[in-house]
Chain A
Amino acid sequence: MRAATPIRPSATGWLVIGLAFVWLALVIALPLASIFVEAFRKGVNAYFAALAEPDSLSAIKLTLEIAAVAVPLNAAFGLAAAWAVTKFEFKGKALLLSLIDVPFSMSPVISGLVWVLLFGANGWFGKQLDAWDIKIIFNFTGILLATILVTLPFVARELIPLMQEQGTDEEAAAVTLGAGGFATFFQVTLPNIAWALLYGVLLCNARAMGEFGAVSVVSGHIRGLTDTMPLHVEVLFNDYDFVGAFAVATLLAGLALVTLAAKSALEWRFAGELARGSRH
């Protein structure tokens, strides 16, 4: 599709554009700025002291660990799902596609609650797990499961449209030229989707680190043990530790800004890649 030819805005046009900017300033720029202002209200030393609190450090560590496991798992799943859906014909394909979208359409609280329902003390498998002394809820595993569920669609959703557009001709060509499955995947399929994969991983990561609702249900808010960064912000805020809360919040906001920058860079690069790959 070709972009519409831009037209020079009229007076009304300028008014609408102005309103858009004012609105964005009010609901995005102002709150974002306030995070940094509040975090540094008592000075740089207080800011770093707040971050160096053992509970804060442990929240940062936990968040990084969760993302380090959840993101690769979902990247692998997303890749496998996109590969299956776009390169093969099979029964239940539509069902698989709908299932991938479920986490998008479901409230994150539900994504947390289902695990409590399954593995909680009073859940379906709670007694059995208790007997084996396996803890899932209020534990790393529970937080991980909730995070995986919430962030499941990101990579797959990014890859499926691209791989659908690219079709299977290149893979078929590789196979007739004598390439095995391994060579075909790593030399033909993967390079064609590398940027989209990175893009999906980035979005997945941002969500994995920032997820509040689902994680909140399964974590149990044990300070220094099962608090992730978003949860820790809330805990500190409820304790009237505003510098602490906003200091940790700056890290999340920073993550958002870095993601945004990387995303824009990729979109810029990615658009070129897509154009280069177009067939006619």
Chain B
Amino acid sequence: MAAVTETTPVASLAVEGVAKRFARFPALKGVSLTAQPGEFLALLGPSGSGKTTLLRVVAGLETPDAGTVSFEGEDFLALSPRERRIGMVFQHYALFRHMTVAKNIGFGLRVRPRSKRPPKAEIEATVERLLSLVQLQGLGKRYPAQLSGGQQQRVALARALAIEPRLLLLDEPFGALDAKVRKELRHWLRAVHNETGVTTIFVTHDQEEAMDLADRVVVLRLGLIEQVGTPEELDERPASAFVFDFLGESNQLPCRLDGAEAVFDGFRTPAVAAPGAAGETSAWFRPHETEVSDGGEGLPVTVVDILIKGAMERLECRTADGRLLDADYPRGSLPAGLRIGSQARLRPKRVFVFPERAD
């Protein structure tokens, strides 16, 4: 776990030791987590890591086998989902297909008990305000199926915000959208969050999305929290090889750790060692922190391919023992003299080293 100092006395949401098992599959194996008021938190992990289950436990759609969930000191598990006043946005939007957009958004207000239900005109005004917040003015009379995926997602968000939720939960909110719409919506979601200030937790398997959007990222793996930290902390101080590998593309080489340096065959590089790392181990490094040259110190490799990757150019290199390693350079700044088939030397600028783990 990352060293996040939490000084605020009452957390917005506090999850403590939550475990949940489905038939034979343990989805959560004891997860503890807090969210500060107004915080934007990402639950990041591959499928099967338990991130959606955790979200559904907080929403009350799943009951945990063990652990506690509290919100501003109040026991959440004693409340039914309808009493928790949580705004939930589902991966496939879950819009009510037979209701218009306006009816969808107003649903949470209309189903309130008569004594707490706002008058009709007030509901309509709220719906109009939310339609303009999610930039869908004039589409209130449409049916969900008449909208694009991105528009449906915004309706789902407006519907969740209508009940003035104490907590906003989003399950893979952009999972079903294409890449371009996804990026637009991402920044727009951040803007909506800044405007409403409601504590928000979203689930994603897209590391870029998590790192781009969240104040803090919770990395989950096999039902346990692997690391919690700000995007910078995760980048600079990954707690495990899993986190490092999950957060981006990576190269891996055997090395020996010697203080703050990794020792390779014939050269050394600076190493960021996670606590517990020692001795013969693996060095992990990013393609953009990898240098290839046609001479000097480094691991002998053969350039097997040169690819264009957006603004970068990638050298695919093979070591004598068949290992494939990548090096990324900005377009047009490849070291001179390298072409497919060249013999070259490869060395990382810095590496990350983690304790060996028996799983």
Contacts and interface: CB of A to CB of B under 8 A. Distances in A.
- Decide whether A and B assemble into one complex: yes
B159 interface: yes
A174 interface: yes
A176 B111 contact: no
Contacts of A187: 96, 107, 111
Interface in B49-89: 59-61, 80-82, 84-88
A177 B90 contact: no
Contacts of A188: 96
A269 to B, nearest CB: 13
A270 to B, nearest CB: 13
A169 interface: yes
Interface in B302-348: none
A178 B111 contact: yes
B88 A172 contact: yes
B97 A170 contact: yes
Interface in A166-217: 169-170, 172-180, 183, 187-188, 191-192
B90 A175 contact: no
B94 A177 contact: no
Contacts of A191: 98
Please classify the interface of chain B as helix (H, G, I), strand (E, B), loop, or mixed, using the class held by over half of its residues. loop
A275 B146 CA distance: 11
B111 A192 contact: no
Given A172-B61, A276-B143, A178 B94 contact: no
A23 to B, nearest CB: 41
Interface residues on B, range: 20 to 34
Interface in A148-177: 169-170, 172-177
Most buried by B among A173, A174, A176, A279: A176
A79 to B, nearest CB: 17
Interface string B157-184: 0011011000000000000100000000
Contacts of B88: 172-173, 176
A183 B145 contact: no
A180 B83 CA distance: 10
A175 B108 CA distance: 9
Interface of A: 169-170, 172-180, 183, 187-188, 191-192, 275-280
13 contacts: A170-B96, A172-B88, A172-B94, A173-B94, A176-B60, A176-B82, A178-B108, A178-B111, A179-B111, A180-B111, A277-B97, A277-B145, A278-B145
